[in-house]
Structure 1
Amino acid sequence: MDLQVLRSFQAVAEGLTVTEAAAEAHITQPALSRALSRLQDEVGAELLQRAGRVLRLTPAGRVFKEHVDAVLESYDRGRRAVAEVVDPEAGLVSLAFLHTLGTWLVPRLVTGFRRAFPQVRFELHQHEENGLVQHLLDATADLIITSDDPGHPSITWRRLLVEPLWLAVPPQHRLAQRRQVRLAEVAEEPFILLKPGYGLRSLTDTLCHRAGFTPRIGFEGEEVHTLRGLVAAGLGVSLIPSSPDAAATRDVPIRYLEITDVHGARDIGIAWLSGRTLPPAPQRFIDHALEAMTGQDPARGGTTTARPQEDGG
């Protein structure tokens, strides 16, 4: 059984037309159609049925595809392991991470790692919290960088740093001249939030509940940069991670206030599948990340209570 035929079957099963899958495999459409027909004969069951321009999996096809996915994944990992034995200084790190960490932490770690291992390649994915865990479970990523321990029995998690959260308010806000504030003081104000499913959204909801209120939703977005922009525009307040890119600018003037009535912080850590022996490159990246971030503050490289820079407006 040809592995390329299995890859083409996988591609068709996941939505490509036979013509598209044939082009991807660099063969003609009739040749791929014959190959898929032979595959069904070998398996002894109809795997695909036509539905308009595309082929859909039959019940037997769905069962078969699960095993095809496992075979191809195992084969690809085997090739990768051999390549890294032959050239241990090279290799691939497949890393998935939270959107909010893509502007500072991930670039910092990747840059430092590549100084020591310049031949290592990176395959990067951004996702929200639940999607990150699925990347590991589906073996589409070696490692994830996320907030808080996922608490999954198959995942090992190690803390990299504690990232403070500050209350972001526009410069004309009634509390803007303060340095500290109780979160309960903005209980009646609209909050600029990430959509449900993001770790920062869950943490914001939790902190507000601990402060005795449910946040009023002023806007739900998908990027922290959007939250900052809308806070600067005076549309509400938000809890923002204290990372280097949280510095206000003339275009996005914001005041950052330390919250005192609840513990505004989140753990940032790196995780991998517990039962899997990692290739050399991802294992080296774990060691690098843990060493690089030991005792580091996200904004200053020192204590964990550094204040984000603020713009004078």
Structure 2
Amino acid sequence: MELRQLKYLVTVVEEASFTHAATKLHVAQPGVSAQVRQLERELGETLLDRSGRGVRPTAAGEAILPYARAALAAVEGARASIDELTGLVRGQVRIGALPSMASIDLPEVLAGFHRRHPDVDISLAEGTAEHLALELHAGRLDLALLGAGVLPPGVATQVVADEALVAAVHPSDPLARRERITAGALRDRPLISLPTGTGLRACADEACAAAGFQPHIALEAGDPHMVTRFAARGLGVALVSESLARAHAPEVSTVTIVRAPRARILLAWRADGPAGPAARALIRHARAALPDLPRSRPNSSHPGQES
């Protein structure tokens, strides 16, 4: 029994496919199949059910999987311990991020890490705050930049962006003549927002609920820049962060929403810590490169025209 065979078995189960497993492992598909069959011959049991559309573990396969994963984790832990002892940082780190964050220069953060640790491979995945939190909790991400919301247990955070939720409108929109409005001014307006599960959408829903009405979401888009561009075409009122709205001026006018929830971005990682030195180095670097902001209160009312 070889570690390679165990790794191939675990990867095939996770991907539910020999082809996808081979792609992930960067080896030829026949090689993966041959190694798994060799392992089955050695154990005298069929470990994978190949009869359906997807590959699934048999009862024997389910029985061996915990031991296979434990063996692979032990080897990875041994390598990480030696790397840490010798001061060598290598391996792979996985970071998740929202599709667009106008206030954070993520490429520069990752470039700075790469300059310090050129032997570490960096992978980046995008998704909603809800999805990223689940991936982080499951250990499939080492670090995540996500919107504030309900986080799973065991996740530590640092506030790295804290902005006002604002209304972005076409310059000809009547709201563009105002500096400030209350959320109630949006009651009968078509609104443009990110999908449910994102931090900005949670802020928008909260603001409308506090004003006593259900928002009329006319358009949704997964890209915050697209949300703002819809508003620039006069299709509705975009509810976005202040930095995002300012980035699209003069195509849109920015209107402050008084007493609105804050749009926050959190740097998040597992509190019990990742196993590898590369992931720990990434977390240290990101925490130092990005500001640790205090949590601000909602926008307060100021003298000016409101509705």
Instruction: Classify the TM-score, shorter chain.
Output: 0.7 to 0.9
Give SS of 1:176's match. Answer: helix
Matched, 1:7 2:4: no
CA distance in 2, matches of 1:174, 1:23: 53
Say if 1:245 and 1:193 are closer, same or farther in 2 by CA, change over 3 A: closer
State the alpha-carbon separation in 1 of the partners of residues 65 and 89 from structure 2: 35
Please state how far the C-alpha of 1:50 moved relative to its aligned partner. Answer: 2.6
TM (norm. structure 2) is 0.79
Tell me: CA distance 1:39–1:196, structure 2 relative to 1, closer, same or farther (3 Å).
same
Moved more, 159-168 or 145-154: 145-154
Using a 3 Å threshold, how does the CA distance of structure 1 residues 201 and 149 change in structure 2: closer, same or farther? closer
Tell me what 2:22 maps to. Answer: 21
Query: Equivalent residues in 2 for 1:279-290 (5 A)?
Result: 279-290=276-287
**Counterpart position of 2:303:** none
Q: Write the deviation string for residues 68-110 of structure 1: whole angstroms up to 9, x where unpaired.
A: 3454355345434533543446665422122233783422433
Verify: 1:142 aligned to 2:142, yes or no.
Answer: yes
**In structure 2, do the counterparts of structure 1 residues 235 and 21 end up closer, same or farther at CA, with 3 Å as the change threshold?**
same
CA distance in 2, matches of 1:181, 1:146: 27
Name stretches of at least 5 consecutive residues in structure 1 with no aligned partner. Answer: 298-303, 306-313
- Give the CA deviation at 1:256: 1.0
CA contact (8 A) 1:16 1:54 kept: yes
The gaps in structure 2 that reach 5 residues or longer are: 300-307
1:220 corresponds to: 220
Cα distance change on mapping 1:39 and 1:102 into 2, 3 Å: farther
1:158-197 Cα shifts (integer Å, max 9, x gaps): 2223222211111111110211111110111111122222
Q: Is structure 2 residue 47 aligned with structure 1 residue 47?
A: yes
**What is the CA–CA distance in structure 1 between the aligned matches of 2:92 and 2:166, rounded to whole Å?**
36
Q: Comparing 181-190 with 38-47, which one deviates more in the overlay? A: 38-47
Relative to structure 1, the CA distance from residue 156 to residue 281 in structure 2 (aligned partners, 3 Å threshold; closer, same or farther) is same
**Cα RMSD over matched residues?**
3.5
Q: Secondary structure at the match of 2:176?
A: coil
Task: Answer yes or no: is the 8 Å Cα contact 1:154–1:275 preserved in 2.
Answer: yes
% of aligned pairs identical?
Answer: 27
User: Which residue is 2:271 aligned to?
Assistant: 274
- Structure 2 matches for 1:1-313, cutoff 5 A? 1-13=1-13, 14-17=15-18, 21=22, 26=27, 29=30, 32-43=32-43, 45-51=45-51, 55-65=55-65, 67-76=67-76, 78-88=78-88, 92-101=92-101, 104-114=104-114, 121-148=121-148, 150-243=150-243, 246-249=246-249, 253-260=251-258, 262-276=259-273, 279-294=276-291
